[in-house]
Amino acid sequence: MARLGEGPVDWLLTNAVLADVDGHGSLRIEEGWLHVRGERICARGTGRPPADLPHVDAGGAVVTPAFVECHSHLLFAGNRLGDWMRRQGLEPDDPRLGTGGIAATAKATSALDDAQLVATTLARLAPLARSGVGTVEIKTGYGLSAPAELRLARLALEVAERARHDIGLDVVVTFLGLHALPTAPAHERRHIVDDMIGALDELPAGVRTVDAFVDPAGVSAEEARPFLEAARARGFDLRLHVDQFADANGAALAASLGALSADHLDATGPEGIAALAAAGTVGVLTPIATVLSGTRLRPPVMALRDAGVGLAVSADANPGTSPSADLRLAALLAVTELGLRPDEAFAGITLHAARALGLADRGTLEAGARADLVAWPVSHPFELVLSHLPLEPWRPLPD
């Protein structure tokens, strides 16, 4: 099967049930066709398609935009299964059951050589490509020092290039420069922040976004602000982890800096919600981490919805709180555990996830969007978010 952009310049996808959401996040389902030119959808319609063009018959399948995974920590080594066991009241009795939090993952990641780390990450990405995902964000964050984070940025870009060429997956790289700071006097923590500000000038071309974990488990809003302001001044887009374990004014900070997204939101309060709505910042829900973290916190979905905050959904794949990269599972839990409607969950892994990455050209079947299409053997797109039964999607592309 050809890759996107290969094969005929102009072609038609016919006999399809087109399923996406409009610009307001409302579900659209219609029997129709798509006219693709190069890598873009140039027209969509119902009824008789244009004649005299090569076509691919979807066989009546539901065709959606490829899913967008807008928040992942897939670039790491080791595991933290022992940490998870302790949250369940169990004591790990095997050293192969990793413990020690983010610092332990950073240590394991630094011990793995470049080639092994790239290969390990690509192996994690390949199943995503087979499961209907077309775009994945990958963060650094397991370096914890400026030189180590710069190494991870370089390797993430290598992963992105290999993923695009080898498995047809688009990877967006985010520099998570402030993931955690050691317990130390304030002046020592500020020295680390200053080092990360300096690292911004050394980031390789191709890194588009910058992130910080604003939470009691990460860094304070006051510590993160100078780093994030420096990143914004250098032209980077911002995406923030915020308020996962307590309201740390992270959502308000994200909104004040014009961040693309504020992720987690488990403990965000009314002021943060109002700020996100006013700024148009996307809220990213991470339901697997929310459920597995061991707290009783739940993001205020009803208040976010009522305020008009667009909500994306992510699996938040990481070795600590969300050891899964299954985006359909995340969507299912977003409905059953967090209270999203099925249409909101579907929008959350397509259009709103793309918006969380600042990508206006995907997550939709509108004319002008990337023709990153997935055909599903289902009768309704809700089967993609309300069921977790195995599916074998396929990419409708001309030979």
Domain ranges of the chain: 10-65+364-386, 67-357
Tell me the C-alpha distance between 314 and 145, whole Å: 26
Residue 164 amino acid letter: R
Q: Does the model's pTM come out above 0.85?
A: yes
Whole-number percent of the chain with pLDDT over 70: 98
What does the angle CA 207 – CA 359 – CA 152 come to, to the nearest 5 degrees? 20
Count of C-beta atoms within a 10 Å radius of residue 52: 6
Confidence of residue 354 (pLDDT cuts 50, 70, 90): very high
Tell me the C-alpha distance between 293 and 241, whole Å: 15
Whether the per-residue pLDDT at 294 is higher than 90: the answer is: no
Q: What is the pLDDT of residue 1?
A: 37
Task: Tell the CATH superfamily of the 67-357 domain.
Answer: Metal-dependent hydrolases (3.20.20.140)
286 φ/ψ angles, rounded to the nearest 5 degrees = -125, 75
Whole-number percent of the chain with pLDDT over 90: 86
String of b and e for 83-119 (b: at least 16 CB within 10 Å)?
bbbeeeeeeeeeeebbbeebebbbebbbebeeeebbe
Q: Assign residue 201 a region: left if phi > 0, alpha if psi is -120 to 50, beta otherwise?
A: alpha
pLDDT tens readout for residues 100-139: 889 999 999 999 999 999 999 999 999 999 999 999 999 9
What does the angle CA 82 – CA 87 – CA 92 come to, to the nearest 5 degrees? 30
Task: Tell the CATH superfamily of the 10-65+364-386 domain.
Answer: Urease, subunit C, domain 1 (2.30.40.10)
- Mean of the pLDDT values across residues 43-57? 90
Q: What is the pLDDT of residue 83?
A: 87
